[in-house]
Amino acid sequence: MSGPRLPDARGELSAAVLSGLLGDRPQAPPPGGPDPYGDDPQLALYLLYELHYRGFEGVPDDREWDLDLLALRRPLEQRFLHALRTDVPPHSDAEQALGALLVEPAGHDDTSVSHHLQRDGELWQLREYAAVRSLYHLKEADPHAWVIPRLRGRAKAGMVAIEYDEFGAGRAEEIHARLFSDLMGDLGLVTAYGHYLDAAPAEALATVNLMLFGLHRALRGALVGHFASVEVTSSPGSRRLAAALRRVGAGAAAQRFYDEHVTADAVHEQVVRHEVVGGLLADEPQLESDVAFGVHATAFLEDRLSAHLLKAWRQQHSALRVPLSAIEERHRT
């Protein structure tokens, strides 16, 4: 299975990673370095994490565990985590953190992408949103599966039950990543995995890179918090996005992806709160602050992405680094 093409570098760090992926020995990043949320370090991390998924065209599979690349990843990862722990205030109550996510604003939320798209969104904005989100949704639920062997009892059973639904309940055509690919096709987007990486801003890469939690047993509580946050917020947001797609006349497949999440994630929200989070904390109560951190770190990065998208769209500007037309032209060459 061939992975996507390698993207263009966004600075010295991502250039070093790209060089290492192709066989050169990458240099360790200097102390300090650029903004940990910026384009260069976020692309560097995305490239390194993607080795654990499908890899890249022309990159040997054994680069996944290349010691030089792992040594380069460690300081980048540590800076990212340190920045998150600095910017996300400490919280110790996981249920309170999740409960806050269930409170919907009384009126229109000017900070919410789904509210904007439902009320004012244009087709070109929905296409940009789908392109950005494709970096996660075309591998939906894969990174969360990493936590399964690190759980037990109720938490493991609940996690597997939700993942079973995410992966189509045994039907390949119902896998949520496949449904999102169908959505992209209805919107006239290229459905190839990872195709829009060059277009995605750093804020979008960071939301995907946060799933690094799943790669570390020590961060299993944070991954559960992240997963719970996604499931708890999915149903109402999906309802608004489905309405937005209907309003602009998108096809049935585009609408179906979000309609499916309205129904499925309303059930998943109960399972994740009571079985996955509840079961984990019954077994390992010392992880409660980690679960809360995962919830709040997810909200922090999603808020940054929303602010970036809305600022551009309200000025009638593209929120992407590279226009969709230029990215799609690459698919034809």
Do the beta carbons of residue 41 and residue 33 sit within 8 Å?
A: yes
Question: How many other CB atoms are found less than 10 A from the CB of residue 202?
Answer: 22
Lowest mean pLDDT among 1-5, 187-191, 274-278, 296-300: 1-5
Burial of 2 (0-12, 13-18, 19+ CB in 10 A): exposed
The domain segmentation of the chain, as residue ranges, is 12-87, 94-331
Do the beta carbons of residue 179 and residue 140 sit within 8 Å?
A: no
- Reported as a pLDDT band with limits 50, 70 and 90, residue 7 is very high
Give residue-wise pLDDT tens across range 75-116: 999 999 999 999 998 888 898 888 888 776 555 678 899 999
CA-CA distance, 112 to 121, in Å (whole number)? 12
Q: What pLDDT is attached to residue 108?
A: 63
Do the beta carbons of residue 316 and residue 186 sit within 8 Å?
A: no
**Assigned superfamily of 94-331:** Heme oxygenase-like (1.20.910.10)
Give every CB contact of residue 102 below 8 A, 6+ residues apart in sequence: 232
CA-CA distance, 140 to 225, in Å (whole number)? 17
